[in-house]
Amino acid sequence: MDFRSSDTVVGPRSADLLPASATTAVKVVIVGGFGVGKTTLVGSVSEIRPLTTEETMTQAGAGVDDIAGVERKTSTTVAMDFGRISLSDELVLYVFGTPGQERFWFLWNGLFEGALGAVVLVDTRRLEVSFDVIGRLEDRGVPFVVALNTFPESPAYPTEELRTALDLPPEVPIVACDARTRESGRDVLMTLMRYLYRLSAPPAG
Ligand SMILES: Nc1nc2c(ncn2[C@@H]2O[C@H](COP(=O)(O)OP(=O)(O)OP(=O)(O)O)[C@@H](O)[C@H]2O)c(=O)[nH]1
Ligand SMILES: [Mg+2]
């Protein structure tokens, strides 16, 4: 899809999608278990009004939606989140958030098409919801960084303890963040871009 062609863009004007100075546009995906803050992160970093596909959680989801630990949550992503952020004058990131609930995970295929990397958002109070997500990324061979979203009662584990618990290789960056603030979300995306750059750079020596 050519974001510059106004004919093909439905919704925001094409100028909203790609600033004139941008020379590189990169697609990244935010993944994570149910209710870890993916939609919040996309919304806080985006410079354009984020596109979200949130639906109210209803009684129909009772017994299907696992709300343990996130009892106050009233809505959930059913297709995707979309936002845009300029990390520099030239570099623009298109940020796609995935649905957290397993019954919507079949949508991952489309959301990962053309993506260079991913952020795994983790709620350290509910580490177990991250295991499958990380496994699926590894199966796909998509490079990722891990961002620990800080909630008020989040236990503060030492990073290396979390690395072991999540069975992450030593090179995968782990950073703390607050998905509600733009600066913090931006730092996470910068960490991902630096990591992707390191992976693509030829080894020194
Ligand atoms: N305290 C705190 N609350 C947060 C943070 N991030 C998100 N929340 C809250 O946690 C709830 C879940 O956030 P969402 O952004 O909807 O989570 P999600 O991962 O998109 O959820 P699904 O799409 O249903 O998987 C919301 O009520 C947010 O306001 C955070 O960093 N700190
Ligand atoms: Mg969501």
Q: Amino acid identity of 147?
A: A
**Ligand 1 pocket at CB < 6 A:** 32, 34-40, 73, 76-77, 99-101, 149-152, 178-180
Query: What tens-digit pLDDT sequence spans the chain (205 residues)?
Result: 443 433 333 444 455 566 777 788 999 999 999 999 999 999 999 999 999 999 998 765 655 566 666 777 889 999 999 999 999 989 999 999 999 998 998 999 999 999 999 999 999 999 999 999 999 999 999 999 999 999 988 998 999 999 999 999 999 999 999 999 999 999 999 999 999 999 998 776 6
Q: Which of 41, 107, 38, 103 has its CA nearest to residue 66?
A: 103
Which ligand lies nearest to the CA atom of residue 100 in the structure? 1
What is the domain count for the chain? 1
Q: Is residue 121 in some structural domain?
A: yes
Q: Is residue 4 in some structural domain?
A: no
Q: Is residue 85 in some structural domain?
A: yes
Give the distance (Å) from ligand 1 centre to CA of residue 75.
Answer: 10
Q: Is residue 205 in some structural domain?
A: no
Residues 53, 120: contact at Cβ < 8 Å?
no
Give the distance (Å) from ligand 2 centre to CA of residue 203.
Answer: 37
Give the distance (Å) from ligand 1 centre to CA of residue 91.
Answer: 27
Query: CB within 8 A of 186, min separation 6: which ones?
Result: 45, 85, 87
Query: CATH number of the domain that 187 lies in?
Result: 3.40.50.300
H/E stretch holding 160 reads helix 159-165
Domain that holds residue 78: 14-60+72-200
Q: Is residue 155 in some structural domain?
A: yes
CB neighbourhood size of 114 (10 A): 11
The C-alpha atoms of residue 67 and residue 83 are separated, in whole angstroms, by: 26
